[in-house]
Amino acid sequence: MWSKTRQVLESRLADDLKERVCYHYDVYHTKKCKGKPGWNTEMRVMSILVDGNPWFCTNPSNWEGDLDVIRDKGIVGDGWGSEMEYIHQFLNVLSIDEAIAHDNYFIRLLAVLDARLGKRRIKALADSIANEPEWFRKWILLRAGTKSQKSNEAK
């Protein structure tokens, strides 16, 4: 199931991101805790890499940005598996307009990377970047192009 989902996500990437961005979804198994029946023995990790470096990862040790803000925005749901539900919504339910305006930052992140988002919409997002969380800004700047990203980093 993940292979097909990843193919669809990657087919929707903007052309200038196709060689730079890739999606990963891994399940890590842990040893069962003695005396702790019912404890989850799997850790599901969704990550998005840019140029081989993790920019987004559901593993809490890899978060960039304030974890409370990220949780408040609905990226991490109950049980660390909700990102697949969000991907399903993005791919099968929401239009690109609904996705880019969504309350959930993960869905908005997928929309920022989507080729259906035009240059004018990306420019408008880049122009209104001040109110966005720092971790989300870099995605908008990546999509807007390296010139915008470099000029913002120099500030």
The full DSSP string for 76-116 is S-GGG-HHHHHHHHHHHT--HHHHHT-S-HHHHHHHHHBTT
What does each of the 155 residues of the chain score in pLDDT, given as a tens digit?
889 999 999 999 999 999 999 999 887 776 665 555 555 566 778 889 999 998 888 765 544 445 555 554 445 544 445 788 889 999 999 999 999 999 888 899 999 999 999 989 999 999 998 888 888 889 999 999 844 344 444 44
Q: Is the dihedral of CA 31, 36, 38, 40 positive or negative?
A: negative
Q: What is the predicted pLDDT for the residue at 28?
A: 73
Backbone angles phi, psi at 50, to 5 degrees: -120, 120
Cβ-count burial 100-136 (b if 16+ within 10 Å, e if not)? bebebbbbbbbbbbbeebeeebbeebbeebeeeeebb
Q: What is the predicted pLDDT for the residue at 145?
A: 86
Q: Name the residue range of residue 60's domain.
A: 2-154
Are 77 and 66 contacting, i.e. CB atoms less than 8 angstroms apart? no
Number of domains in the chain: 1
